[in-house]
Amino acid sequence: MNRHDWIGKFGRNLSDAIRYPFESWRGTIGFVLVTFGTYTLLILSTMPEFALQMLGDGLHWFDYVLVSLTESVYLTDGATGLGIIVSYALLTGVAVVNAVAQLRLIGLSGATSVSGVLPGLVASGCASCGAGLLAFLGFAGGLTLLPFDGTLLQVGGLALLLFFLGRAGHPERCVVSLEGSQ
Give the pLDDT score at 143: 56
pTM summary value = 0.74
Query: Among 102, 39, 104, which residue's Cα sits nearest to residue 69?
Result: 39
What is the mean pLDDT of the segment spanning 79-98? Answer: 90
What DSSP character marks residue 47?
S
What DSSP character marks residue 113?
G
Average pLDDT, the chain: 77
Check whether 135 has a pLDDT greater than 70: no
Give the containing element (helix H, strand E) for 166.
helix 151-168
Long-range contacts at 134-141 (CB < 8 A, ≥ 24 apart): 135/45, 135/48, 136/45, 136/48
Summarize pLDDT for 142-176 with one digit per residue, the tens.
Answer: 655 665 566 777 777 788 888 888 888 888 776 55
Summarize pLDDT for 34-76 with one digit per residue, the tens.
Answer: 999 999 988 998 888 899 999 999 999 999 999 999 999 999 8
